[in-house]
Structure 1
Amino acid sequence: MPVSIDIIPFSDSLELYGEPDFSSAFSLAGHVSISLSSPSSMFQRRRSTTRALMQSLTVTFEGQSEIITPDIGYAPLRLCSITRELVNGESVDLSNDGHEDSNKPCSWNVIFDIPVPGWLPTTSTYGDRSAVEVGTRYALYATATFIYLEDGNSSIFSSFCSPFGCRTHTVNAPRCPVSLARFAEVPSGPSSLSSTSVFPMALFIVDAQSGQDDTKTDKTSIPPEILKKIQVVASIPNAVTLDETSVPLILRLQGNELDGFQRQRLQITDFTVDVEQIETYRSTTSLDCLARFMVPPRTQQPPSLPLRNAHSVHTLYEVGLLTTPYPSKSTSTRSFSLFDPSNSGKYIISGDGRVFVHDSLKGNATTPSPSENWYVLEANVPLAPEPHQIDWAGLRSRRISENSPLFSVCHLMHITLRCVYEQPDGEVVCERLHFSLPMQHVRVAVPQINPSAADRTIVGAMEFPKSVPYSQSLPAYSQLFYSNGERKIDYSTPLPLYEPPPSASTSSSFTLDHNDDDQNQSHNNFLICIYTNTRTPKPKTLILSCNI
């Protein structure tokens, strides 16, 4: 075919910053390259001129989510479908006149810019490990419609066959995968004096629930009115990066409402910590879920409208060769600990465990001093750096915390305090106070490293670094402005002290010549890319410029 199109994005990955937001969007830009060449023919010594009339050109960004689990089977969902028409109004006449015999085709580049919703989940693979490429995926698709025009150099054979062929042709570009990654915004200031994390510490006033100790055989327990007087405040970071191998934990205990005898008999001997990752797979989505995630309606979902790049196993489910083992089941869950198998998560409290006993004594009772503070327990909870187990869904690796229509990941830190109490009759009973804290696992962008002096090249009076990704160094919009458009200002950085300007004798000056002045004025030109068009084998960009 003499005409072909190809999608060339400026980047094959799109970085989303901040929390998923339904009111935000990110730009995915690039161009669609249209190539036109003259096919060779045995009936002609010289290639004829190819002319084509481009009637339409569309580019579509589409995202899809698929799951396959052994118990609930296969489920597809179209996350988004955004189409942009790049040829509006009149058709575009394309011709390779004068370059018919060139080995390289003539090309035209049409610029596109698609707003990608800010709530979309990241590109990831999940589900049955035996299925390849199942999960959340995104791609760009392009379609063009052409009419091949006749010219005076057409051969007798092509003129004879033209009435039998369709003059309108549809050309599709190869699928262009695009990867979406989400990064959390790292606070600019220090997180906390007692935290080793880059994120600030969050406070949780917990309502600990009591439970029998595993080693207990009878029904004797600590009186509930005593356990209710124990106040617990926990602190963990607002977010934990996937690169961190430990999580700081601070527990504050207080028992001001306990009397002196209860303080003497109550001990906190140890506490146990565990970090759990819970993955939830869903085969169906409710109407509320579809409206909340702003996905396309039912009419644009499979099977009414199949996915553009569905997994091959979907045909087996459609023809009935594969069936769902549990038709009434709509969710499947996989949960596991993020600890190394050798880590028990148990921390022993030093001393006799009477954390609520103070030095101020009156008779046989212990009363709290006026300056009594919380009893503080600090620990760095280690996480497994690499996955160590595998099951039906693959390796049990850490993922970021996210929520999507078919797949969601959440993290919880489970904490258990072991309490020992001596009854008035001398009997010792044990009980556990347990509670869970929600965690947020995120991914942060790798900080940019300034090139060294050896990696710089001096050109004239200006210094340019080598191989510096300028496009990657631009910060996200949410890092510079608030959601209402107001600029973010970091007042923690002090302004430089005022210094008087240097004297005229010590200052250096230079004079711009006419060429420098013209070059300086050319920097004030505002460039607008319409689309690139060329009649030569090497593409050139056509731009419009206006002075401001």
Structure 2
Amino acid sequence: MPVSIDIIPFSGSLELYGEPDFSSAFSLAGHVSISLSSPSFMFQRRRSTTRALMQSLTVTFEGQSEMITPDIGYAPLRLCSITRELVNGEPVDLSNEGHEDSNKPCSWNVIFDIPVPGWLPTTSAYGDRNAVEAGTRYALYATATFIYLEDGSSSIFSSFCSPFGCRTHTIHAPRCPVTLVRFAEVPSAPSSSSSTSVFPMALFIVDAQLGKDDTETAIPPEVLKKIQVVASIPTAVTLDETSVPLILRLQGNELDASQRERLRITDFTVDVEQTETYRSTTSLDRVARFMVPPRTQQPPSLPLRNAHSVHTLYEIGLLMNPYPSKSTSTRSFSLFDPSNSGKYAISGDGRIFMNDSPEGDATTRSSSENWYVLEANIPVAPEPHQLDWAGLRGRRISENSPLFSVSHMMHIALRCVYEQPDGEIVSERLHFSLPMQHVQVAPPSIMPPAEDRTIVGEIELHKSAPYSQSLPAYSQLFYSNGERKIDYSTPLPLYEPPPSASSSSSFTLDHSDDNRKSI
């Protein structure tokens, strides 16, 4: 075919910054390349001029989620579909006149810019591990409509068949995948010096619940209710971090002297759990919450552009949902290495609520508020080590999407030992859980080596520095109301008078005829 189109985005991935936000959007830009050439025929000495009238050119950004699990079957969902018409007004006349015999086709680049909603989930694969390419995916699609006014196929055979052929042709560009990645914004101010995380610590006033051991007698509730617990973990944990700082503050000011003597805190256990929720249906409230297209634009009313091959087996009935009444499926697992028990012993005899700390106790306590402080770095397995129906049990970022959600919790249990007035030793565990946020941060910008830098006067030029590494996200420069963010912690540089001799530079742009034209 003498006319072809191709989608060339400025970047194959779109980086989203910050939390999912329904009121924000990110720019996905690029151009659609239109190529026009003259075909050659056996009985023609010279190629003829090809002319085409481009009536329309549309580019569409579309996202989809497909859920495939052994127990709830297959579920498709269209996340978004944004179309832009790139030919406005009159049709565009394209011709390769003067370049008919060139080995390179004439090309035109039509620029597009699509606003991508800021709430969209990231590109990820999930569900049944045997179903390749299931999960959340995004892609660009382009369609052009042409009328061939004159082409190089003017032969006896083509002239005979032309009255029976359609002069209007629709051309589709090859599918162009786009990867969506979400990065958390790292705070400019460093976190506490006692924390190993780049994010600040969050405080939780804990309402610890009793968890009675089956073989042991419970501690009197009036004693346990007097224990106050405040926990601190980072507001977010990056996927690159292999440990999570944890700070527990315990206080028992309401305990009397006898209870302080009898009560001991011997140890505590910690576990970090990841829960993945898979859904086969989307309720009306979730549709309104995530602003997905209406049901008239969802399968089966409007099939997905690039649906998984297994959908055909479900449509013709070769595969059925084994549990029709079940709409959700979950898997939960620990992010600890199997060799890590998660148990931490407290030094001393455990009587932490006494006025004086045991000698040699490595923990610290605030003298003003009489808090007993426990600090620990909780190790997290750097690599997945188990496999099940959904694949490797690896760490994911915390996110919530219509068909797939990932949440993280840190479960903590304090072991309390109490001596009854009759001398009987009883124990109890205080359980509580802290919500966690696992995020991904953008890699740091890498300075090019010295051989790739050129010094011109006092200006340092980089020979090949991608602009995507030097341009920060909009949310890093401006607030949501449009006001500019100013970091007052960085002092302004001292004033230096300009040099007396002014310098100027001139650049020469080399132009080569590559048979490209602009619309």
Aligned ranges 1:415-494 → 2 under 5 Å: 415-458=412-455, 462-494=459-491
- Asked if structure 2 preserves the Cα contact closer than 8 Å seen for 1:74 and 1:283, the reply is yes
Give 1:369 shift.
Answer: 12
Q: Which residue of 2 aligns with 1:275?
A: 272
Q: Which residue of 1 aligns with 2:360?
A: none
Q: Which residue of 1 aligns with 2:24?
A: 24
Residues 425 and 450 of structure 1, relative CA distance in 2, 3 Å threshold: same
Q: Which amino acid is 1:162 matched to?
A: S
Residues 107 and 535 of structure 1, relative CA distance in 2, 3 Å threshold: farther
- Asked if structure 2 preserves the Cα contact closer than 8 Å seen for 1:105 and 1:537, the reply is no
SS, match of residue 217 in structure 1:
coil
Q: Which residue of 1 aligns with 2:77?
A: 77
Question: Which deviations, in whole Å up to 9, do the C-alpha atoms of 1:458-490 show, x marking residues without a partner?
Answer: 468754223322232200000000000001111
Q: Which amino acid is 1:252 matched to?
A: R
Give 1:255 shift.
Answer: 0.5
1:217 aligns with 2:209: no
SS, match of residue 223 in structure 2:
helix
Q: Which residue of 2 aligns with 1:509?
A: 501
- Asked if structure 1 preserves the Cα contact closer than 8 Å seen for 2:106 and 2:517, the reply is no
12-21 or 46-55, which deviates more: 46-55
1:325 aligns with 2:322: yes
Residues 142 and 152 of structure 1, relative CA distance in 2, 3 Å threshold: closer
Supply the distance in 2 between the matched residues of 1:73 and 1:370 (Cα, whole angstroms): 59
Supply the distance in 1 between the matched residues of 2:175 and 2:457 (Cα, whole angstroms): 44
Query: Percent same amino acid among aligned pairs?
Result: 85
Supply the distance in 1 between the matched residues of 2:190 and 2:264 (Cα, whole angstroms): 36
Q: Which residue of 2 aligns with 1:55?
A: 55
Residues 497 and 57 of structure 1, relative CA distance in 2, 3 Å threshold: closer
- Asked if structure 1 preserves the Cα contact closer than 8 Å seen for 2:19 and 2:184, the reply is yes
Aligned ranges 1:358-369 → 2 under 5 Å: 358-359=355-356
SS, match of residue 260 in structure 2:
helix
- Asked if structure 1 preserves the Cα contact closer than 8 Å seen for 2:76 and 2:299, the reply is yes
Q: Which residue of 2 aligns with 1:64?
A: 64
Question: What residue ranges of structure 2 are gaps of 5+ in the alignment?
Answer: 358-364
Aligned ranges 1:306-325 → 2 under 5 Å: 306-325=303-322
Taking structure 2 as the reference length, the TM-score comes to: 0.94
Aligned ranges 1:26-425 → 2 under 5 Å: 26-150=26-150, 154-213=154-213, 216-217=214-215, 220-359=217-356, 371-425=368-422
Q: Which residue of 1 aligns with 2:362?
A: none
Residues 509 and 313 of structure 1, relative CA distance in 2, 3 Å threshold: same
Give 1:95 shift.
Answer: 1.0
- Asked if structure 2 preserves the Cα contact closer than 8 Å seen for 1:67 and 1:127, the reply is yes
Question: What residue ranges of structure 1 are gaps of 5+ in the alignment?
Answer: 361-367, 523-533, 543-548
- Asked if structure 1 preserves the Cα contact closer than 8 Å seen for 2:267 and 2:415, the reply is yes
- Asked if structure 2 preserves the Cα contact closer than 8 Å seen for 1:102 and 1:537, the reply is no
21-30 or 39-48, which deviates more: 39-48
Question: Which deviations, in whole Å up to 9, do the C-alpha atoms of 1:153-205 show, x marking residues without a partner?
Answer: 93333222110111111000000000000000000111112211000000000
Give 1:497 shift.
Answer: 5.0
Supply the distance in 2 between the matched residues of 1:275 and 1:479 (Cα, whole angstroms): 31
Q: Which residue of 1 aligns with 2:516?
A: 539
Supply the distance in 1 between the matched residues of 2:175 and 2:387 (Cα, whole angstroms): 32
Q: Which amino acid is 1:114 matched to?
A: I
Q: Which residue of 2 aligns with 1:530?
A: none
- Asked if structure 1 preserves the Cα contact closer than 8 Å seen for 2:201 and 2:234, the reply is yes
Supply the distance in 2 between the matched residues of 1:421 and 1:307 (Cα, whole angstroms): 62
Q: For this pair of structures, how many residues does the alignment match?
A: 510
Question: Which deviations, in whole Å up to 9, do the C-alpha atoms of 1:102-134 show, x marking residues without a partner?
Answer: 111111110000000000000000000001000
Q: Which amino acid is 2:331 matched to?
A: R
Supply the distance in 2 between the matched residues of 1:152 and 1:244 (Cα, whole angstroms): 62
- Asked if structure 2 preserves the Cα contact closer than 8 Å seen for 1:96 and 1:535, the reply is no
Q: Which amino acid is 1:104 matched to?
A: K
Question: Which deviations, in whole Å up to 9, do the C-alpha atoms of 1:238-263 show, x marking residues without a partner?
Answer: 00000000000000000011111000
Give 1:453 shift.
Answer: 2.8
Give 1:495 shift.
Answer: 3.0
Residues 74 and 253 of structure 1, relative CA distance in 2, 3 Å threshold: same
Supply the distance in 2 between the matched residues of 1:156 and 1:428 (Cα, whole angstroms): 105
Question: Which deviations, in whole Å up to 9, do the C-alpha atoms of 1:378-419 show, x marking residues without a partner?
Answer: 000000010000000000000000000000000000000000
SS, match of residue 421 in structure 1:
strand
SS, match of residue 487 in structure 2:
coil
Q: Which amino acid is 2:350 matched to?
A: G
Question: Which deviations, in whole Å up to 9, do the C-alpha atoms of 1:307-355 show, x marking residues without a partner?
Answer: 0000000000011100011000000001100000000000000000000
SS, match of residue 226 in structure 1:
helix
- Asked if structure 2 preserves the Cα contact closer than 8 Å seen for 1:211 and 1:432, the reply is yes
Q: Which amino acid is 1:27 matched to?
A: S
Supply the distance in 2 between the matched residues of 1:471 and 1:510 (Cα, whole angstroms): 32
Taking structure 1 as the reference length, the TM-score comes to: 0.89
Supply the distance in 1 between the matched residues of 2:344 and 2:461 (Cα, whole angstroms): 54
Question: Which deviations, in whole Å up to 9, do the C-alpha atoms of 1:196-251 show, x marking residues without a partner?
Answer: 100000000010000112xx525x31111111110000000000000000000000
- Asked if structure 1 preserves the Cα contact closer than 8 Å seen for 2:397 and 2:440, the reply is yes
Q: Which amino acid is 1:284 matched to?
A: T
Give 1:449 shift.
Answer: 2.4
40-49 or 485-494, which deviates more: 40-49
SS, match of residue 71 in structure 2:
coil
Supply the distance in 2 between the matched residues of 1:406 and 1:359 (Cα, whole angstroms): 54
Supply the distance in 1 between the matched residues of 2:138 and 2:366 (Cα, whole angstroms): 63
Residues 50 and 18 of structure 1, relative CA distance in 2, 3 Å threshold: same
Supply the distance in 2 between the matched residues of 1:152 and 1:261 (Cα, whole angstroms): 102
SS, match of residue 138 in structure 1:
strand
- Asked if structure 2 preserves the Cα contact closer than 8 Å seen for 1:56 and 1:91, the reply is yes
- Asked if structure 1 preserves the Cα contact closer than 8 Å seen for 2:245 and 2:376, the reply is yes
- Asked if structure 2 preserves the Cα contact closer than 8 Å seen for 1:107 and 1:535, the reply is no
SS, match of residue 108 in structure 1:
strand
Q: Which amino acid is 1:510 matched to?
A: S
- Asked if structure 1 preserves the Cα contact closer than 8 Å seen for 2:41 and 2:153, the reply is no
Q: Which amino acid is 2:299 matched to?
A: P
- Asked if structure 2 preserves the Cα contact closer than 8 Å seen for 1:266 and 1:420, the reply is yes
234-243 or 472-481, which deviates more: 472-481
Q: Which residue of 1 aligns with 2:9?
A: 9
Coordinate RMSD, CA, aligned: 2.3
- Asked if structure 2 preserves the Cα contact closer than 8 Å seen for 1:14 and 1:178, the reply is yes
SS, match of residue 349 in structure 2:
coil
Give 1:491 shift.
Answer: 1.4
